[in-house]
A and B are shown apart, each in its own frame.
Chain A
Amino acid sequence: MNFQAIKSIYIAEMARTKRTIFQSVISPVISTVLYFVVFGAAIGSRITEVDGVSYGAFIVPGLIMLSLMTQSLSNASFGIYFPRFTGTIFEVLSAPVSFFEITIAYVGAAATKSIVVGLIILGTANFFVDLQIQHPVFMALFFILTAVTFALLGFIIGIWADNFEKLQFVPLLIVTPLAFLGGSFYSINMLPEFWQTVTLANPVVYLISGFRWSFYGSADVSLWLSLLMTMIFLAGSLAVIHWIFKTGYRLKP
């Protein structure tokens, strides 16, 4: 293993975040807090409790998941797309670095950033509502698994995209709606039966449900199903990346 190379890429990626601290950390935190204020205060005054938890507290896990997913996705996709776009990726591809190491470095950096953002949001939310974390280990597990899985997904998008539109397209048109409709702001039990069934086809439901369970002990779907789906999601992303590197797709003509 070329650990030094992993470290170098990781550090360079984190340095990029530092240069763009507003865009990468402060702005997601601000927008999440806005969601929080709008949904929690405006709607929360009408819906007092969901599954025995105040609405304001109920949406916190969903909000954290939402930002974790979108942040991981955009960090990772941009992180690999940018050097492809400028051409500096040649350096990494011609160095004694394996694809596995390249993935660890880029995905690790992207996941780290979104985890930091997620933690800041968690800390901020603590000021507004009464938070309780009943199952901290599972919480950490879902937190990290989601960050890594979506960073992997973002990495794939960053390799697949050959222009900026495509880079924006998938997160905006696919992942954000899935995240919104995945129960970030509501329990799927609140939906009519038909839509409950449809919603179960949305992979994000399982992530949010499992994550929320680790806070309040109540969930839309069973914990183990949530974990299983998360793992399948993760394995799927890894398989695609394995294929990308095996075929040289978009990286090596």
Chain B
Amino acid sequence: MAPILSVRQLEKTYEGGFQALKSVSLDIQKGEVFALLGPNGAGKTTLISAICGLVKPTSGTVTVGGFDIQSDFRKARQLIGLVPQEMPTAPFEIVGDSVAFSRGLFGLRPDRSKIDAILKDLTLYEKRTSQIMALSGGMKRRLLVAKALAHEPQILFLDEPTAGVDVELRHDMWRIVGRLRDTGVTIILTTHYIEEAEEMADRVGVINKGEIILVENKTELMRKLGRKVLTLTLAEPLAEIPGSLAEFDLTLSEDKHFLTYAYDTQAERTGITSLMSALAAAGIRFQDLQTDQSSLEDIFVDLVRNGEASGL
């Protein structure tokens, strides 16, 4: 199936010469939730802005639903909804009117029943006659989502939807994304919280310094790059790691009760068997053992650090 969004060799150099995007290419499939992960200043907002027509690309092409964002901007933009990173709202506007306004910009009449349905969906219906400045931060965020959905777009961009919000609001946002995904909306979100990508995304792209350094199915990514940690609960505390175990990457906990061993699940030999024998030979007994998969967080930190080391 043709991707719903296709970015080809997109470059952006801002006035002043800073290159924020370096030949970015990316395909997004219909219906997927894609998380664009990257540290601050990586170029996430620039990429979204270029796709949505808020920033002029220096070179490269973008098509949305097969429509070029420049030569066919009306058709391309009709498919897109955008919730920007900042929460720009007109303080004196009325909530319901504001959603109707967004809908109107996309050439649609202010269909009351549709607007009410969107407001109800985002639990803003009770506030439909309030001024925007009377809304709490969380409500404002939901209003921005409502406005972005007012023209029933097929692709929704959420630029850092949960930056600086409390836990409750974050889970609220996750639920909204989940519901939208169920209705078939393609979602592209940016975040620097790994937890978020892990929770919501089907695929993850990592961007750093204007370059996409990796795009991978989330589970695949975790399997591929995942490291596991084996934790042994010792029968008796150990004063120090004996020299005979020096070849293993072991760490002794401060309370001397736990030994941890990190290993690569993809390596040909995990080294667990030989570790077990070496432990037995050293007379170290343990009561329990447990393995943990590393999170996207660790993977991400690794990737960015390696990228830096190799001069990316």
| A interface residues, Cβ below 8 angstroms from B | 2-5, 7-9, 11-12, 15-16, 19, 82-83, 86-88, 90-97, 248, 252-253
Residues A94 and B88 in contact, CB atoms below 8 Å apart: no
Select one of A4, A88, A94 contacting B104, CB under 8 A: A4
Select one of B78, B82, B105 contacting A8, CB under 8 A: B105
Given known contacts A86-B89, A87-B84, A96-B78, A15 and B97 CB-to-CB distance under 8 angstroms: yes
Nearest CB of chain B from residue A153's CB, rounded to whole Å: 24
Nearest CB of chain B from residue A149's CB, rounded to whole Å: 26
Given known contacts A15-B97, A19-B92, A94-B53, A2 and B82 CB-to-CB distance under 8 angstroms: no
Residues A90 and B84 in contact, CB atoms below 8 Å apart: yes
Give Cα A8–Cα B151 distance, bound, in whole angstroms: 13
Residues B97 and A87 in contact, CB atoms below 8 Å apart: no
Q: Does B14 contact A (CB under 8 A)?
A: yes
Residues A4 and B107 in contact, CB atoms below 8 Å apart: yes
Q: Closest residue to B77 on the A side, CB-wise?
A: A96
Given known contacts A96-B73, A252-B56, A253-B14, A4 and B108 CB-to-CB distance under 8 angstroms: yes
Residues B77 and A86 in contact, CB atoms below 8 Å apart: no
Residues B105 and A86 in contact, CB atoms below 8 Å apart: no
Within 8 A of A (CB), among B67-120: 73-75, 77-78, 80, 82, 84, 86, 88-93, 97, 100-110
Q: Does B55 contact A (CB under 8 A)?
A: yes
Q: What are 26 of the A-B contact pairs (CB < 8 Å)?
A: A2-B105, A4-B107, A7-B104, A8-B103, A8-B110, A9-B104, A9-B105, A11-B101, A12-B93, A83-B90, A86-B88, A86-B90, A87-B86, A90-B54, A91-B102, A91-B105, A93-B53, A94-B52, A94-B54, A94-B82, A96-B73, A96-B77, A96-B78, A252-B53, A253-B14, A253-B15
Residues A90 and B82 in contact, CB atoms below 8 Å apart: yes
Give Cα A88–Cα B105 distance, bound, in whole angstroms: 13
Q: For chains A and B in complex, what number of residue pairs have CB atoms within 8 angstroms?
A: 81
Q: Does B147 contact A (CB under 8 A)?
A: yes
Residues of chain B with a CB closer than 8 A to A86's CB? 88-91
Give Cα A16–Cα B101 distance, bound, in whole angstroms: 13
Nearest CB of chain B from residue A242's CB, rounded to whole Å: 16
Residues A97 and B97 in contact, CB atoms below 8 Å apart: no
Task: Give the interface centre of A12, A15, A88, A94 by most chain B CB atoms within 10 Å.
Answer: A94
Nearest CB of chain B from residue A102's CB, rounded to whole Å: 10
Give Cα A91–Cα B93 distance, bound, in whole angstroms: 14
Within 8 A of A (CB), among B197-221: none
Residues B92 and A252 in contact, CB atoms below 8 Å apart: no
Q: Closest residue to A83 on the B side, CB-wise?
A: B90
Given known contacts A96-B106, A97-B105, A87 and B74 CB-to-CB distance under 8 angstroms: no
Select one of B53, B80, B82, B97 contacting A12, CB under 8 A: B97
Residues of chain A with a CB closer than 8 A to B93's CB? 12
Nearest CB of chain B from residue A131's CB, rounded to whole Å: 37
Residues A16 and B88 in contact, CB atoms below 8 Å apart: no
Residues of chain A with a CB closer than 8 A to B78's CB? 96
Q: Closest residue to B52 on the A side, CB-wise?
A: A94
Select one of B15, B55, B88 contacting A88, CB under 8 A: B88
